[in-house]
Each structure stands twice: as C-alpha cells, then as structure tokens.
C-alpha cells in the first residue's frame, strides 16, 4: 500500500520547499487539496500501483473548505486508511521576516495585521497540531537541512534522497542543453568527421570509439574528467540535489561527445552512481560538421 502523508501547518513555515523535497523523494504530490476530497484521493492512490507514496498539502488557503480537515482525517481512520500527519511551524519573528522578504500577503491577513494573522492561524491550527505525528519547526533550518530532515523522516528508500547523474552528449552547432549543470567541451579531440570511412558512422560504432580512444589526449581527458566527477558528485549529492546533468559537447554531437559521454557514464556506474545517458544529437546529419576539431 502506498504511503500517505498529509502536510499542514503555519503559512510561511516552508510548505513549498518541503513539498519539493517530497517530490525528490519519489512521492506523488498534491498542493492545496480540499479536505473533503482526501478520502477519495486515498482511494485513487490505492488503485495506482505505480504510486509508492503520496504527499498532500492541506492548509488555510483552502478557506471555508479547510474547516472540514479534522472530519476528513477521521474519515480516513474509519476507512482503515493509514496516514502520517506532518505539521510545519516556525517562530513568529521568523514568519514575519519571511513574509516581508517575499512581499506576499498572509492567507488570513486581508483585514488584519500580519502579526495578528499569524496568531489567528496558530490558534486555529492548535487542535490539528496536537494530532500530528511529526511537528517540524523550520525556524533555524536552511533549505538543505530541511530537505535532509524530510529525507530522514519520510524517505521511501532507506538510502535517503535518490540521486542520479544524467550524462548528455550534444553538438554545439545545435545549441547547449538548457538543463546542464556542468558542460565540458571536447572539440579539441581528434575528429572522426575527417575520416571518410568514419564520417557517416556514430559514436556508438566500435570503429569510431577505437579512433577517438586511441589518442593519448583522449585518455588524459577521460582520466581528468573522471577525477573531477569523483570530487564533484558527492558535493552535489550533499547539497541535496536529486540529479546532476553533465553535458559533453563536440561540434556535431555525433562522434567525440558520444564516445566520451559513454565512457564517463560507464565509469560512474562502476563507482555505484545511478546514471542515465542521452545522446541528444546522434541522429543529426553529418553534413556541415565544421573544422573546430583536430584533423588528426
């Protein structure tokens, strides 16, 4: 049965950040669900085998709908649906600072001061807080610490936050990958484009691989890139990122970048890092590949 988690608490306590952390953990997430739909949603989740965890935010933004939240929780219990309730809160001074920094209005603040709105909401949520399985005070937590805390408490995978490296080969003539975190240019490597027999082939072809890998400059480049990734991947993982996109570019994206991307991906896999490989421009035409690469 999928794990059902309900998130509620004070406005400004980090609901958006926490919900994103649950998305990174593999939860199916819904924001601002009317409480009356909670039982129906739980039934839908039970019928979806691909959903292993669901996180639902229910808070005072729901207006009059929110008054039904405790009845909705009772309905879940009566139906035999297990759930966990996470309550987010923060100190009053911290909430005031966050609202002033964001310049957003408090959901209850249209007819009262910000301070009074915060106090009214806290009083309104007192009973709900008492029902919570976990109360998380985000007052002194950095975003990274908050994500770590969520992972420790609610990870679907005992290993914590999932992390994957995505290695993408591309051609500069077709533009940079927009989602790349790291970009490495390998246009200085010997170019199979200038070998008549190799030009129409692609970087997954053994003959092209042999040509590219046969040069000391290629071996040296792979060794140094591997060493750099050994250093950087743990840092990105520690920062709380769910993925890292590494882009390897040559001129056309059909030869050198493909070979290097495949070799780096294989190296990372041997280190136990989950890897996905994409050769974005491998199917493009070889015609028009310019001479930015070495002709050796």
If you write DSSP's letter for every residue of 96-147 in order, what string do you get? HHHHHHHTPPPTT-TTS-HHHHHHHHHHHTHHHHHT-SEEEE-TT--HHHHH
Segment 121-138 mean pLDDT? 87
Q: Do 122 and 170 belong together in one domain?
A: no
288 located within any domain: no
Q: Can you name the residues that pair with 87 across neighbouring β-strands?
A: 8, 135
**Residue 22 and residue 147 in contact, taking contact as beta carbons nearer than 8 Å:** no
**pLDDT 10s digits, 9-49:** 888 888 889 999 899 888 999 998 888 888 999 998 888 88
Give φ, ψ of 29 to 5 degrees.
Answer: -115, 140
Q: Can you name the residues that pair with 136 across neighbouring β-strands?
A: 88
DSSP 30: E
Give the pTM.
0.56
Q: What is the CA angle 36-40-46, rounded to 5?
A: 145
Q: Do 139 and 22 belong together in one domain?
A: yes
- Maximum pairwise Cα distance, the chain: 77
Q: Do 16 and 122 belong together in one domain?
A: yes
Average pLDDT value over all residues in the chain: 86
36 located within any domain: yes
269 located within any domain: yes
pLDDT tier, 275 (very low <50, low <70, confident <90, very high otherwise): very high
The residue to which tokens 């280190």 are assigned: 271
Residues in contact with 82: Cβ distance below 8 Å, sequence separation at least 6, in sequence order: 1, 4
The count of structural domains within the chain is 2
pLDDT tier, 296 (very low <50, low <70, confident <90, very high otherwise): very low
291 located within any domain: no
**pLDDT 10s digits, 2-20:** 789 999 888 888 888 999 9
**pLDDT 10s digits, 181-198:** 899 999 999 999 999 999
Q: Do 8 and 145 belong together in one domain?
A: yes
Q: In this structure, what CATH number is given to the domain that contains residue 14? A: 3.40.50.300
Q: Do 67 and 32 belong together in one domain?
A: yes
Q: Do 91 and 197 belong together in one domain?
A: no
286 located within any domain: no
Q: Do 70 and 120 belong together in one domain?
A: yes
SS3 of 250, please? strand
Element (DSSP H or E) covering residue 1: none
293 located within any domain: no
pLDDT value at residue 202: 95
Structure tokens of 112? 């009262």
Q: Do 184 and 274 belong together in one domain?
A: yes
Q: Do 31 and 130 belong together in one domain?
A: yes
Q: Do 136 and 249 belong together in one domain?
A: no
Give me the domain span that covers residue 109. 3-154
Which of 154, 182, 205 is the C-terminal boundary of a domain? 154
201 located within any domain: yes
Q: Do 202 and 127 belong together in one domain?
A: no
Nearest to 212 by CA among 195, 184, 188, 191: 191
pLDDT at 136 over 80: yes
Element (DSSP H or E) covering residue 6: strand 3-9
pLDDT value at residue 294: 39
pLDDT at 142 over 70: yes
The residue to which tokens 């009845």 are assigned: 71
The residue to which tokens 């001479």 are assigned: 291
138 located within any domain: yes
Q: Do 13 and 132 belong together in one domain?
A: yes
């Amino acid at each position: 049965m999928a794990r059902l988690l309900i998130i509620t608490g004070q406005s400004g306590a980090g609901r958006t950040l926490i919900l994103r952390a649950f998305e990174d953990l593999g939860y199916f997430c819904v924001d601002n669900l009317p409480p009356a739909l909670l039982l129906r949603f739980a039934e839908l989740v039970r019928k979806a085998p691909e959903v292993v965890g669901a996180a639902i935010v229910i808070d005072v933004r729901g207006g009059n709908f929110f008054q039904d939240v405790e009845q909705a929780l009772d309905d879940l219990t009566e139906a035999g649906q297990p759930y966990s309730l996470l309550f987010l809160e923060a100190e009053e001074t911290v909430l005031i600072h966050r609202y002033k920094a964001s310049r957003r209005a408090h959901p209850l603040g249209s007819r009262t001061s910000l301070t009074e709105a915060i106090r009214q909401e806290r009083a309104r949520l007192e009973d709900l807080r008492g029902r919570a399985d976990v109360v998380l005070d985000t007052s002194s937590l950095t975003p990274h610490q908050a994500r770590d805390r969520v992972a420790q408490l609610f990870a679907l995978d005992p290993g914590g936050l999932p992390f994957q490296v995505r290695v993408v080969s591309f051609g500069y003539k077709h533009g940079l990958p927009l989602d790349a975190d790291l970009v490495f240019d390998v246009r200085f490597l010997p170019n199979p484009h200038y070998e008549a027999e190799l030009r129409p082939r692609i970087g997954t072809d053994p003959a092209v691989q042999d040509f590219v890998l046969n040069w000391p400059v290629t071996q040296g480049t792979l060794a140094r890139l591997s060493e750099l990734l050994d250093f950087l991947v743990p840092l990105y993982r520690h920062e709380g990122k769910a993925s890292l996109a590494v882009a390897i570019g040559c001129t056309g994206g059909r030869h050198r970048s493909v070979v290097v991307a495949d070799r780096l991906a294989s190296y990372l896999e041997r280190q136990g890092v989950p890897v996905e490989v994409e050769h974005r421009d491998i199917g493009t035409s070889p015609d028009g590949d310019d001479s930015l690469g070495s002709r050796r």
